[in-house]
Structure 1
Amino acid sequence: MPQVGASLADIAASVDACGASGLVVIDGRSGAGKTTLARRLAAARPAFRVLSLDQLYPGWDGLRRGADAAISGVLVPLAQGRHGRWQGWDWNADEPAAWHEIAAGTALIVEGSGILTPTAAAVTPVRVWVEADDTVRRERALRRDGETYAPHWERWATQEREHLGLNDPRSLATHVARA
């Protein structure tokens, strides 16, 4: 049962219990506050590095592919004590970008829509679902990304709804935060 109404302090305490090479995932819909929470958690626990799925999603139709790549290429290998590897996405050129490696034993926070699946939950001890009202989420996302995101809002939201229906990420979370 997830801890509902979790604060940064609650989540940080769970991170501390993971040890120096802990893994954390932060999921939620667009504009919910995932990136902000990940940055605050990393600032509170400087040993942790943040990987944003925005760097991996292969375009506006790539929510599932980006999350799957992070799970199979980063989370699972790190949980097994191996190096992780992921390929970036160049949003301007709309094509794959450079490959990146993450050393075994790296303390890592992976944040992004779609990351909390049963496979990720099986290898990640701290799992956070971030919620916010739909109106607030949309205002935040459009303020952050402006006209670049506006024409894609519904397209992305459809993929998020598919993720929610398929994986029920809130039920997999160890913590539920309200932003």
Structure 2
Amino acid sequence: MPSFADLASRILATEPRLGPVRLVAVDGPSGAGKSWFADRLAKAADAPVVHTDDLLDGWDDQFTFWVRLEQQILAPLRHGRPATYLRYLWHREAFGGPAVTVEPAAAVLLEGVTSARRAIWPELSFSVFVTAPPDLRLRRALARDGRNDVAFRAYLERWRTAEDQHFAAEGTAAHVDLLVDGAAEGPGDRFEALRLPPHWPRSAV
């Protein structure tokens, strides 16, 4: 199994494409294990993580949040400036809480559904797609949110259908640099790769 340390070294050796920043997308369907993967990669690369769920203005903002991401985070980082934003508080259905600041670090991780969309391809230094079986993803999503009522399941099913359509239309999994098996959460310092980037050193597997 490849290590997060090896992956971090590979990413930090790439060319910055978002101004001075190496932007790394960690995409994949809900419940696949994106946050687990991004948090461990961030630790290995000493990189901040922006979670797209924090930028959504509720369930209906699944794809349209990108304007907010561009204005509040990508544009400042592109010009070497710190980015500042407020998280969406799902229990209050509003943005609030303390402001979050993201410095233009050597690498910044963007984690969440559609984070590797076509619009950002030219500015990504590296991209990851995390996948897992649908039934496992559903169990994780229900456990994560602590809800299993009819209204929540309706929102979740609509979300899952829309994300499946998005990934199929964009061919996300085929385009990314690294495909990860999110069902096989290995030791804390390693992950299960379904497809590695070209020329990955055998010593790192």
> What is the aligned partner in structure 1 of residue 11 from structure 2?
15
Q: 1:64 to 1:105 in 2, by over 3 A?
A: same
Higher helix share: 1
**Quick check: 1:65 aligned with 2:68?**
no
| Gap regions ≥5 residues in structure 1 | none
Tell me, what secondary structure is at the counterpart of 1:48?
coil
Work out the number of aligned pairs and report it. Answer: 174
Query: What is the CA-CA distance between 1:15 and the residue it aligns to?
Result: 1.8
**C-alpha distance in structure 2 between counterparts of 1:68 and 1:172, whole Å:** 23
Q: Letter of the 2:163 partner, please give it.
A: E
Tell me, what secondary structure is at the counterpart of 1:147?
coil
Query: What is the CA-CA distance between 1:87 and the residue it aligns to?
Result: 4.0
Contact 2:12–2:107 under 8 Å retained in 1: no
If the length of structure 1 is used for normalisation, what is the TM-score?
0.81
Contact 1:77–1:84 under 8 Å retained in 2: yes
**C-alpha distance in structure 1 between counterparts of 2:72 and 2:172, whole Å:** 20
Tell me, what secondary structure is at the counterpart of 1:30?
coil
* Sequence identity (%): 29
Instruction: Please say which structure displays the higher CA radius of gyration.
Output: 2
Alpha-carbon displacement from aligned partner over 1:51-70 (angstroms, at most 9, x marks no partner) = 11121111111111234432
Alpha-carbon displacement from aligned partner over 1:106-127 (angstroms, at most 9, x marks no partner) = 6311100111112222111110
> What is the aligned partner in structure 2 of residue 81 from structure 1?
80
If the length of structure 2 is used for normalisation, what is the TM-score?
0.72
Q: 1:155 to 1:126 in 2, by over 3 A?
A: same
> What is the aligned partner in structure 1 of residue 159 from structure 2?
156
**C-alpha distance in structure 1 between counterparts of 2:43 and 2:116, whole Å:** 22
Higher relative contact order (CA 8 A, sep 6+): 1
Contact 1:121–1:172 under 8 Å retained in 2: no
Cα RMSD over matched residues?
Answer: 2.7
Contact 2:30–2:137 under 8 Å retained in 1: yes
**Quick check: 1:43 aligned with 2:77?**
no
